[in-house]
Amino acid sequence: MGFSFCGGIVLFFAVFAAISAIAKLSTGTGLDMNSLYRNPAAVITLFLFILFFALVLLDVLVLTLPSSVANKQGGGSGFAGSVGMGFFAGILSTPCSGAIIGAVLVWAQTQPLTVSSAALVLMGVGMAAPYAMLISTPKLLDYVPKPGTWMEIFKKTGGFLLLIIAAKFMLAGLTKDHLINVLLYGVIFCFCVWMWGTWVIFSTPKAKKWTVRSVALIIAVAGGFWLLPTPKQSRVDWQKYDPAVVQNALQKEKPVLLKFTADWCSNCKIVDKTVYQDAATVALLAQKGFVAIKADTTQQGFGATVDYKAVFKEPGNVPNTILLNPDKQTITKIRGLFTPDELKQIITEHF
């Protein structure tokens, strides 16, 4: 009977092996992990998947099976009943093992069918092995640690490890601006999961429960539409700040547009979206032959930061767009926020 229970656990993981095999055979090709990490949508999905199970391990959200399912785990008798109990033990383990199973399922798509199926089944064997050892040698129960605080500490430590995995491995392939937005959404996602799992309890009236969870879902979805899409590529062909590039452009009598910006500057991002994504503005810059240079002042030691104060005599506030006219030898500065029309008017009047 005990070994039948172990067989039920292995059966649970064998089902995942079958799912993996069906997915692979239906597409005819395996998944390339390198391509996966180059796909922002796939990376973000894995990040949120692992983040979700980290929150589960940290007790931000408690996963429970529907009573109609949970009540069946004790049903049946004999070997069939033991197998069923083992299978449901595997289901009940998913709050702790879900992130690992998901990662292995993805990895399995990159391997030959025999290797991937064996790996998934061996996960079940690994989970069933302690039960099998205790069944075959009951005296080992004397050495099994008693339930206590250590179990809670161990579980929550696993949650923090999943957070490290999510941040370190899942987001390595995103661009800088996209990474910042996804991490910000991660915070919103955690808040929504916490709101879903802790703002209501079992005895909360149904109307209030639906209201709270609907609001959490709306915030999560709205935040996703706002922050998760890949940022648009700039319409302007920006060159990295270099005094030699600036000097060379002026010697060739080409006008220069210097965009002094910083990664932490919110107004800079507004200017990028409203001004330098404007088609008419971009066309005018190209028509006038501007050399567009992005002067990054994110950190104190950057060359653009040093020259911003020493050469252009500015205290350091950004955004600031500086236009250099080699013909008239004039410098025009546009500090703070401005509109596409304001920039176009200045260019039309002075260049």
3-state secondary structure of 226: helix
Quick one: pLDDT at residue 143?
81
Structure tokens at 269: 């991002």
Is 295:265 a contact under the CB 8 Å cutoff? Answer: no
Is 176:219 a contact under the CB 8 Å cutoff? Answer: no
Q: Assess whether 157 and 180 both reside in one domain.
A: no
| Across 33-58, average pLDDT | 82
Residue 250 contacts by C-beta under 8 Å, 6 or more apart in sequence?
256, 324, 326
Structure tokens at 184: 């910000």
Quick one: pLDDT at residue 72?
52
Quick one: pLDDT at residue 272?
93
* pLDDT tens for each residue of 238-279: 999 999 999 999 999 999 999 999 999 999 999 999 999 999
| Across 125-131, average pLDDT | 87
Among 76-90, 166-180, 256-270, 275-289, the minimum mean pLDDT is found in: 76-90
Query: Which residue range is the domain that position 66 belongs to?
Result: 2-172
Which of 243, 251, 248 is CA-nearest to residue 312?
A: 243
Residue 75 has pLDDT above 60, yes or no: no
Residue 227 has pLDDT above 60, yes or no: yes
pTM score above 0.85:
no
Portion of the chain with pLDDT greater than 70, in percent: 88
Structure tokens at 166: 């999510």
Is 51:190 a contact under the CB 8 Å cutoff? Answer: yes
Q: How many CB atoms lie within 10 A of CB 302?
A: 15
Mean pLDDT of the chain: 85
| Across 169-196, average pLDDT | 89
Q: Assess whether 221 and 247 both reside in one domain.
A: no
| Across 289-304, average pLDDT | 95
Q: Assess whether 206 and 284 both reside in one domain.
A: no
CATH number at residue 247: 3.40.30.10
Distances from the Cα of 204 to the Cαs of 197, 198, 208, 212, in angstroms?
12, 11, 7, 10
Q: Assess whether 167 and 225 both reside in one domain.
A: no
Distances from the Cα of 146 to the Cαs of 112, 131, 152, 264, 350, in angstroms?
41, 16, 12, 50, 81
Structure tokens at 110: 């990159």
Domain end position, chosen among 206, 231, 256: 231
Among 15-19, 54-58, 211-215, 298-302, the minimum mean pLDDT is found in: 15-19
Q: How many separate domains does the chain show?
A: 3
Q: Assess whether 145 and 198 both reside in one domain.
A: no
Torsion, Cα of 41, 47, 52, 57 (10° steps): 160
Q: Assess whether 19 and 128 both reside in one domain.
A: yes
Q: Assess whether 36 and 50 both reside in one domain.
A: yes
- Burial status of residue 55 (CB atoms within 10 A of its CB: 0-12, 13-18, 19 or more): buried
Q: Assess whether 35 and 61 both reside in one domain.
A: yes
Q: Is the sign of the CA dihedral 131, 132, 136, 142 positive or negative?
A: negative
Cis check: omega of the bond before 66, within 30 degrees of 0:
no
Quick one: pLDDT at residue 285?
95
Which of 26, 46, 19, 33 is CA-nearest to residue 117?
A: 19
Q: Assess whether 210 and 287 both reside in one domain.
A: no
| Across 221-232, average pLDDT | 93
Residue 129 has pLDDT above 60, yes or no: yes
Residue 57 contacts by C-beta under 8 Å, 6 or more apart in sequence?
95, 96, 155, 156, 158, 159, 162
- Burial status of residue 259 (CB atoms within 10 A of its CB: 0-12, 13-18, 19 or more): buried
Q: Assess whether 146 and 194 both reside in one domain.
A: no
φ/ψ (deg, to 5) at 320: -150, 120
